[in-house]
Amino acid sequence: MRSQTLMLLFCSILAISVLNCKSDLVPAKLPDLGADPYAYCNLDDDRRLVVTVQNRGRADAPASKTRIKFFTTGGEVDMDLDTPKVPAGTSVELTPHIDIPPDCTSPIWECKFEIIVDVNDDVDELNEGNNTVTGKCGEASTS
């Protein structure tokens, strides 16, 4: 009985260790904006969208694809970017920076978009449910 209990304990610890040794890719946001959708509106000097992918996990993430989906007046516009290997605990800024489609505006210039990291599910992650965020850029954007 005691050996079965020890074996169960050992297997439980091993399972927890294996689960915690995975990547966890997420779209990175601007600091200090919390859950605000403008937190993902990081614009460069030419007003192009800068996308950064963060690995919150304990294992390196292999190369993958990140999709940026703009919601324009003419429909959805998808752009895929190559995401290089992201070492555990670090982030990478993707290149090139993305031109915001001209018809992704309303009268107050507000462009809604989604960022989907690991869009093809190539990376075995700790949490697959945090790969997509919705953001917007517009008059309230401060970057």
Structural domain contains residue 83: yes
Q: What is the pLDDT of residues 115-139, one digit of tens each?
A: 999 999 999 999 999 999 999 987 6
Q: What is the pLDDT of residue 66?
A: 98
**Structure confidence by residue, pLDDT tens digits, 71-129:** 998 899 999 999 999 999 999 999 999 999 988 876 556 899 999 999 999 999 999 99
Instruction: Give the pLDDT band (50/70/90) at residue 20.
Output: confident
- Which CATH number characterizes residue 28's domain? 2.60.40.10
Q: Is residue 65 part of a domain?
A: yes
**In a domain? residue 57:** yes
Number of structural domains, the chain? 1
Residues 6+ apart with CB under 8 A from 111: 70, 71, 72, 100, 101, 104, 105, 136, 137, 138
**Range of 117's domain?**
2-137
Question: Could you give the CA distance from residue 120 to residue 118 in angstroms, rounded to a whole number?
Answer: 6
Residue 101, classed as helix, strand or coil, is coil
pLDDT tens by residue, 21-64? 999 999 999 887 777 888 999 999 998 999 999 999 999 999 99
pLDDT at 68: 97
Task: For residue 143, tell me if it sits in a domain.
Answer: no
3-state secondary structure at position 90: coil
**pTM for this prediction:** 0.81
Instruction: Say what percent of the chain tops pLDDT 70.
Output: 80
* Pair 142, 38: CB distance under 8 Å: yes
In a domain, residue 109? The reply is yes
